[in-house]
Amino acid sequence: MAKTSALMAGRWERSSEATMSADFFQFQPFNLPPEAEALRADVRDFVARELKDRPLSELGQTWSGSDPEFSRKMGAKGWIGMIWPKRYGGHERSSFERYVVLEEMLAADAPVGAHWVADRQSGPLLLRFGTEEQRQEHLPAIARGERFFCIGMSEPNSGSDLASVRTKAERVAGGYKVNGRKIWTSGAHRAHFMIATLRTQSDPEDRHGGLTQFLVDLKTPGIHISPIEDLSRRSHFNEVLFEDVFLPETARVGNEGDGWTQVTSELAFERSGPERFLSCYPLFRELIREIGPEGDRLQRIAIGRLTARLVTLRRMSISVAGMLNEGANPALEASVVKDQGAMYEQSLPNIARALVELVPTVEGQSPYQEILGTLLQAVPSFSLRGGTREILRGIIARGLGLR
């Protein structure tokens, strides 16, 4: 019976109406406006000046590379907090202008990691949900490139299942007492503050409702930060231990119990930016250099596929930026860009190795080999950070009408 009904449903009949040609996604056609394009030359001059003579060991890290001095210089140029109101130290530029600065920085392999999280996530979060006092205190310092943030979400027993976080913020006189630990916290060892998602209520029936976000000064007594070496022996992420840490009432961001909603709104912005397909751009550039101006047929075909994917991902990402700029919520489209971007970036080092026979290095043979060595070891994380591939595809599946 089930088979017969499926069979009939699978036939095109007059009643099939317009659904066959209805779109699942809304990638509206946006192009970067002239005022955004006008910024490019300035950004290119800046990175050419600032990044000449970099040691090989710093190549290929893009937004994982951290250089507080570089961040301060970007702040002085007005390129952090670009779209925030001027009264909070922002520059009231369009999100397209911000997009141009971001993609130019990534394409140039600039060490933007120190301020990246504060600019992309923490600042916007405080703008939306923070108190006036919190905004005045932090946003101007972030925009100057002097204050860095990290995000305390994952815990040893809470990864993809974020709603299960257990690090507890208990009400005490004048504020909260925090106990527990966060892990995989990128940049905590170099950040000044953390936006932590903590449990303020333990009701097994309402896991989402018991979460609250806090602005945590990482110098507070009782906080212990231990870097964790990644597989390449670099220290990007950390374990952050909270032992009877006192947070004043004024450290809470938003209402008690609103943490889950706030976190989810943060993630939509996190997922569609140019860092989701340009983290490997330096490798693409150096691969082209190694192959030379003509290449053989196999090399041309492979490079052609990579170029087309890059150009298409960029257009999809700009389309999402345009929709965000208009106040829409393209969460589904953003997830698609991140998933497609991760697949593209993860394929790149292996394609490069099939086209050019040079050993990936970590001790500086050539820029190509150094970047290949760095990225080959970095790309597995691209489908882990900012939501695993499986979680992301679950979100997309729900958007498609499954689940």
Measured CA to CA, the distance from residue 129 to residue 143 in angstroms comes to 18
Q: How far is the CB of 346 from another protein (least distance, A)?
A: 13
Residue 177 or 393: which CB sits closer to another protein? 393
3-state percent breakdown (helix, strand, coil) of the chain, nearest 5: 50, 15, 35
Residue 126 or 162: which CB sits closer to another protein? 162
Copy the structure tokens of residue 396: 């997309």
CB 319 within 8 A of CB 333: yes
Triad 121, 126, 130: Cα angle to 5°: 155
Residue 6 or 173: which CB sits closer to another protein? 6
Residue 62 or 299: which CB sits closer to another protein? 299
CB 211 within 8 A of CB 260: yes
Within a 10 A sphere around the Cβ of 74, how many other Cβ atoms? 26
Residue 241 or 343: which CB sits closer to another protein? 343
Measured CA to CA, the distance from residue 334 to residue 268 in angstroms comes to 7
Nearest residue to 337 via CA among 263, 261, 262, 275? 275
Triad 192, 144, 85: Cα angle to 5°: 110
Q: Where are the alpha helices (DSSP H) in 77-226?
A: 95-107, 113-117, 123-129, 132-143
Residue 261 or 347: which CB sits closer to another protein? 347
Q: How far is the CB of 361 from another protein (least distance, A)?
A: 19
Phi, psi of 194 (to 5 degrees): -125, 140
Q: Got the DSSP string for 347-382?
A: HHHHHHHHHS-----SS-S-HHHHHHHHHHHHGGGG
Residue 299 or 377: which CB sits closer to another protein? 299
Q: How far is the CB of 63 from another protein (least distance, A)?
A: 17
Helix or strand holding residue 214 (H, E): strand 211-217
Q: How far is the CB of 322 from another protein (least distance, A)?
A: 12
Q: How far is the CB of 379 from another protein (least distance, A)?
A: 17
Within a 10 A sphere around the Cβ of 313, how many other Cβ atoms? 20
Measured CA to CA, the distance from residue 398 to residue 403 in angstroms comes to 6
CB 198 within 8 A of CB 242: no
Q: How far is the CB of 201 from another protein (least distance, A)?
A: 30
Residue 95 or 136: which CB sits closer to another protein? 95
Q: How far is the CB of 393 from another protein (least distance, A)?
A: 4
Residue 23 or 363: which CB sits closer to another protein? 23
CB 199 within 8 A of CB 208: no
Within a 10 A sphere around the Cβ of 95, how many other Cβ atoms? 15
Q: How far is the CB of 382 from another protein (least distance, A)?
A: 15
Residue 33 or 68: which CB sits closer to another protein? 33
CB 273 within 8 A of CB 317: yes
Q: How far is the CB of 32 from another protein (least distance, A)?
A: 8
Q: How far is the CB of 342 from another protein (least distance, A)?
A: 10
